[in-house]
Structure 1
């Protein structure tokens, strides 16, 4: 009868041990943020405490799942337990299927989400030219312009209408204007509207997310292959 490959066995153990350590770190950090005084100050400093708590709770769940899978993979490899390896295989397969489903849903609703974003921004741009309403949104965009060197939301400085003078400081280019600036009402302002910057950042982040998801999928597929090979070898032992 064929024996169990030591290379696959210990590769499986090392991979899952690192997997388990990552789960411990994620779970420990998330619990610390959730219960400690300093952690409460961190998550309580944002605009939405509820969103922060939900994010921390999700991290706790993710860390716990990674820990359990890592434990099953390590023990299954060392003890040559087919039951543990099978549970590890099923758990990892479910995670991979969830990732694939999330990717399909994201691709399917991409155009719809872009349409909703554009409609929302076109509605919000009306607030820039108002005097009484929309003060909070105007202040937020004013800070955004100053930080990321853009002006206006969709069309540029004309979005501000009669309120441009009140918010021109955050739009103003340095004393030595370059090609990114344009002349508007006697002063040089940034020509790029903030929507262009937002879309550029979103596109870059999507590429990073896709790359990370693809890398995780490759690692998960390798884990599935190794666990099933080891499972079959133990059965043939």
Structure 2
């Protein structure tokens, strides 16, 4: 039982590292698009999973030490901490499921202001326009929700290249002809919505998938605690 508990907690610590790494990766990708004014509440579940991953790493180490030293105090702390983590993790999964169903509404609301800034000719919005242009080139999309019209008169600037398709992507399912320009067919609003939904699925999969592992850990820790008590 002792060595089984140690092996379990080692893998549990590795799971904490994975949760923390994936959650930070999702958050960093979101921060790269912060100029798009996407509501940060959409990432409440991700922030919660970062906290969960950090605590799981600490608990995994605590469980390993408690098993090897046969410390009832450490095992009890591990049990209580793991129970709290399980509750937080299920909450994060539920948050992910709730916000995933509302992503379309949130994105449509928050990107309205971005459309106005894309159409502006004022210098303070040039950084936003440059960043959005990079997003268009990387994601092969054009405009926010309505396509090239979201750029207004900026679309006809001689330096404007963001929406234009290169020859290698000049295909009917990727590019369309608009006012004598070959531009990307897909809107960036659709790309952003799909991006958020896909990452919410990753979040929910991690949260609910590892809940089973944590329940096993609760059984191991309490079993070893009772054996030490009888001993």
The normalised TM-score by structure 1 is 0.70
Q: Which residue of 2 aligns with 1:187?
A: 181
Q: Which structure 1 residue ranges, 5 or more long, are not aligned?
A: 1-7, 28-45, 49-57
Whole-Å Cα distance in 1 between the matches of residues 33 and 165 of structure 2? Answer: 30
Q: CA deviation at 1:20?
A: 5.2
State which of 85, 88, 110 in structure 1 corresponds to 2:75. Answer: 85
Which structure has the larger Rg?
Answer: 1
- Matched position secondary structure for 2:182: strand
Q: Within the alignment, does 1:120 sit opposite 2:113 as a pair? A: no
Q: Which structure 2 residue ranges, 5 or more long, are not aligned?
A: 21-31, 35-48
- Matched position secondary structure for 2:79: helix
**Number of equivalenced pairs:** 202
Give the superposed CA RMSD. Answer: 3.4
Whole-Å Cα distance in 2 between the matches of residues 157 and 116 of structure 1? Answer: 22
Change (3 A) 1:187 1:16: same
Deviations 1:32-64 (A, max 9, x none): xxxxxxxxxxxxxx999xxxxxxxxx979965x
Q: Which residue of 2 aligns with 1:175?
A: 167
Whole-Å Cα distance in 2 between the matches of residues 22 and 109 of structure 1? Answer: 25
Whole-Å Cα distance in 2 between the matches of residues 93 and 60 of structure 1? Answer: 15
Q: CA deviation at 1:111?
A: 5.3
Whole-Å Cα distance in 1 between the matches of residues 181 and 191 of structure 2? Answer: 22
State which of 127, 141, 150 in structure 1 corresponds to 2:132. Answer: 141
The normalised TM-score by structure 2 is 0.72
Q: CA deviation at 1:114?
A: 4.6
- Matched position secondary structure for 2:105: helix
